[in-house]
A and B are shown apart, each in its own frame.
Chain A
Amino acid sequence: MAFDLALDQSQEAVADVFGRFFDQECPPTVVREAEPLGFSSALWAKCCELGAPGIGVAEADGGGGASMVDLGIVAGAAGRVLAPVPFVDHVVASRVWPDPGVVEGTVVAALALRPAVDGVWRIVPAGAVADVVVGLDDDDLVAVRSAAPGIGPRNHADMPIADRPTAGDRVVVGDRTTFERCLVEWKLLQAAQLAGLAARALEIVTEYVKDRTQFGKPVGGFQAVQHGLADCVGPVEGSRLLAAKAAWALDEGLQGALDAAHNDVDDPIALAAMAFAFAAETAAFTTKKAVQYHGSYGVSREYDIQLYFRRARGWPLVLGDPAHQHRELADLLWPAGA
């Protein structure tokens, strides 16, 4: 049905199953215990039992055949609880390298976001824990199996990032075009994950300001606080919708309306760039407010909101400056000049 922003029945089912799974299996203690590496092998094992790692692979290849919209819903559910598993990275890699172990999840896969330089992919998300890295090496998209280091550099968001060599057990799985498609999928799923993060951060701070009392009333009763939080509501919903629209456009196979002059843009590549930039900005903005309205407790490691604050920045910045997406978008909308 046209113009229907509700999840359909099967999408509701996906949201329900994965929402409950992540809420139950990934309380903040799981996130904290996974630090500093940022990977919980126990949670990943549970994801495997649920069939999550192969959900995005075609049914013909033994996977779940999920749509991008479905995958975005799962990414959003993972983002809400900061799940320390590389769902987004693995799912994107699995769609170009649906090896049985990858589909099962016994082999963890990751996507190198930048082409290799001198035989090394730098700062690969999930690179510290991935058994297979899919990445661009010259003009080939290759899947390289090599030993996961199991450790990575300490970083802002306690993510399992690491440099990975292009050497190893190599298979060519595509070309530059395939890689571009992977990046589009990664961006829109990461956007969905960030939208989930931001939505949950807003809930956490809203609960906090209802409880916390100063001057004899809840701090959430003060307009200064209310208005700061009210400013997050539209953008958080907007980032969820934009990520979903990008996913929908990719599922529909839309071949790009790029008419910015009439604000008719339904090209999935353009929408993914928009979704990523906007979700990154919204998650950063929302978690900044969320920490601020926790007062001093917001900077205490004991409180969960700092976990959200750091990941809101770390998750998108592995791709580079999110504002660069605006320039990439401009290159799509106005290829020659403006």
Chain B
Amino acid sequence: MDFSLPPEAVALRDEVRAVIAEVVTPEMVHEAHATGTDSCPALAREFGRRGIIERAVDSLVDGDAVDCWVLLYEMHAAGIPQDSISQGTVTAAIVRRAGTPEQQALMLPGLLSGEAIACFGLTEPDAGSDLASIKTRAELYGDAWVVNGTKMWTTMAHVADWVLLLTRSDPSAARYEGYTMFLFPAKGTPGFSFDPIWTVSTERSNATYYDDVRIGREYVLGEEHQGWRTLGVMLGVERGVGNTAFGVPLLRRAVEWANAAGRADDPEVRALLGRIATENEVTKLLTQRAIWLSRTGGPGAATAGSEAKVFSTDRYQHLAATLQALAAPESLLALDEPGAAAGGWIDYDVRHSVPQTIQGGTSEINRNNIAERALGLPRAR
């Protein structure tokens, strides 16, 4: 066993930290939370310029996701706006895996340079965990597909260049067949529109509408009618790279509050700080294990990502709520309010923790996966 990161990964980590420290200003963070748009264009461009996004994408495509994990983990741990970078990285990896040479030539330069933003049109008003029940329809007329329907939770759609869109192209096909995946240009495509969804956290998401949207066949990602396979490619590259590092900024904020509030010597506070540090370490190990197993395969590979996500998101909710109670009542005050505990970031963390057990696969679906595939219990659905 060797828990040390390879020297190249350590160098990458240090570079990512240095870039974040150099590029990201408090104003950029403030802007992201004020607008709900979790992106930092200057940071994306700098990572792109340095080839860091490409390196992360390479590592996802190669199946040894350490570099990608290092990039995303450092952004998550820094607590900075990063949705646009992580969505772009995953999208570029799917294009590398499933795209034609023409698609790669068209789509990759923008994604890898950090200029282009991609978003995901997957779930719908009546199809969340049961994604296979989507109704958004794609019908082929000549050389173009015509899409009608509604997608939910397409975060970044309002600033996106590309939409990864899952449609039903053959409703008569068997389950998991008859889907088509697109990656189409979001800007200036007639019939494509969106409305904001404001969340309990600061984040803005979107409902997106498809009203006779014509998408050329050249934007089909993967085979036509084989979109479920392309989705499988996405889930494959995503495994283990989701945010699990919530507790790292939470701990810094807890320390900041404890010092400012004169509670740094309070045994109850110190026990909580030690607990957060401990659970952060466990989360990191479970996440590293998921990354490592995605390379090596073997027992646990199918569920390690679920285990890391269920644990980290559950603990984030618990620890944020515990901290908010300890720091009450000033912890009720929102970002930038005078007198707010840790500048309002504790209130933010409690709010931000809420969707984490839902988005990117609910804890319930992940528990089903663990029960069936790690414990070998009968399928309950």
Residues of A within 8 A of B (CB): 1-8, 11, 69, 202, 206, 209-210, 217-218, 220-223, 226-227, 229-231, 233-235, 237-239, 241-242, 244-245, 248-249, 260-263, 265-266, 270-271, 273-274, 277-278, 323, 325-331, 333-334, 337-338
Contact = CB atoms under 8 A, between A and B. Distances in A.
A29 to B, nearest CB: 27
Interface in B268-284: 269-275, 277-284
B259 A338 contact: yes
B248 interface: yes
A3 B370 contact: no
Interface residues of B, number: 64
Interface in B352-380: 364, 366-368, 370-372, 374-378, 380
Contacts of B229: none
Nearest to B378: A221
B377 A248 contact: no
B255 interface: yes
A238 B286 contact: yes
B118 to A, nearest CB: 28
8 contacts: A2-B7, A226-B377, A235-B311, A270-B277, A274-B278, A327-B271, A330-B277, A334-B270
B116 interface: no
A265 B248 contact: no
Contacts of B17: 262
B370 A233 contact: yes
A11 B1 contact: yes
Contacts of B285: 238, 241-242, 245
B375 A327 contact: no
Contact of A234 (B77, B259, B296, B311): B311
Nearest to B300: A237
B269 to A, nearest CB: 7
Contacts, number: 199
Specify which of A3, A5, A273 lies most central, judged by the most chain B CB atoms within 10 Å of its CB. A3
B2 A263 contact: no
Given A242-B282, A263-B248, A326 B274 contact: yes
Contact of B378 (A2, A220, A270): A220
Contacts of B308: 234
A2 B286 contact: no
B292 A3 contact: yes
Nearest to B267: A327
> Which 6 residue pairs spanning A and B have beta carbons closest together?
A326-B274, A234-B307, A338-B264, A226-B371, A337-B264, A329-B274
B255 A334 contact: yes
A233 B9 contact: no
**Chain B: interface secondary structure?**
helix
Interface string B256-268: 0011000111010
Interface in B290-308: 292, 296, 300, 303, 307-308
A241 B3 CA distance: 9
B278 A229 contact: no
The residue among B2, B3, B9 with the most chain A CB atoms within 10 A of its own CB is: B3
B173 to A, nearest CB: 29
A325 B274 contact: yes
A306 B366 CA distance: 29
A130 B252 CA distance: 45
Contacts of B280: 260, 263
A82 B6 CA distance: 37
Contact of A328 (B77, B274, B282, B368): B274
Contact of B270 (A6, A260, A338): A338
B310 interface: yes
Chain A CB count within 10 A is highest, among B1, B7, B272, for B1
Give the residue among B2, B277, B292, B296 with the most A Cβ atoms within 10 A: B277
Contacts of B282: 235, 238-239, 241-242, 274, 278
Given A249-B3, A271-B281, 12 more contacts: A1-B2, A3-B6, A3-B9, A206-B376, A227-B368, A231-B314, A231-B367, A244-B1, A323-B275, A326-B278, A329-B277, A334-B270
A338 B371 contact: no
A274 B284 CA distance: 13
Contact of B368 (A223, A266, A274, A278): A223
A241 B286 contact: yes
B97 interface: no
A260 B269 CA distance: 15
A262 B77 contact: yes
B333 interface: no
B4 interface: yes
B270 A4 contact: no
B5 A226 contact: no
B148 interface: no
A7 B245 CA distance: 26
A248 B3 contact: yes
A226 B364 CA distance: 10
B270 A330 contact: yes
Contacts of A278: 278-279, 282
Contact of A338 (B273, B366, B370): B273
